[in-house]
Amino acid sequence: MSEFDAIAEGFSSKANHLEEDPAARFRELRKCSFFDPVPDEWLRPISALAKIRIFPEEDCLASEEEEMNAFYVLLQGAATAYCHDKIVGTIDSGECIGEGMFFAGENLSRIATVIADDDIIAAEIEKSAISALQGDARTYMDRALLRSLFKKLRGANLKIEELLR
pLDDT digits over 6-40, tens only? 666 777 888 888 999 999 999 999 999 888 989 99
pLDDT of the residue at 76: 94
Q: What is the pLDDT of residue 105?
A: 56
Whether the Cβ atoms of residue 147 and residue 37 lie closer than 8 Å to each other: yes
End-to-end CA distance of the chain: 54
Hey, which residues does 67 pair with through a beta bridge?
109
For 74-86, how does the pLDDT look when each residue is reduced to its tens digit (9 = 90+)? Answer: 999 999 999 888 9
- Cα separation values, 116 from 8, 91, 120, 121, 145, Å: 16, 9, 7, 10, 22
Q: What residue ranges in 8-164 does DSSP mark as E strands? A: 51-55, 60-62, 70-76, 79-83, 86-91, 96-97, 113-116, 120-126
Give pLDDT tens digits along the chain (165 positions). Answer: 666 656 667 778 888 889 999 999 999 999 998 889 899 998 998 899 899 999 999 999 988 877 778 889 999 999 999 988 899 889 999 998 887 766 665 666 677 899 999 999 999 988 888 777 777 877 888 888 888 888 888 887 888 888 888
CA distance linking residue 72 with residue 64, whole number of Å: 15
Domains of the chain with CATH codes: 3-164 (2.60.120.10)
Q: Mean pLDDT of all residues in the chain? A: 85
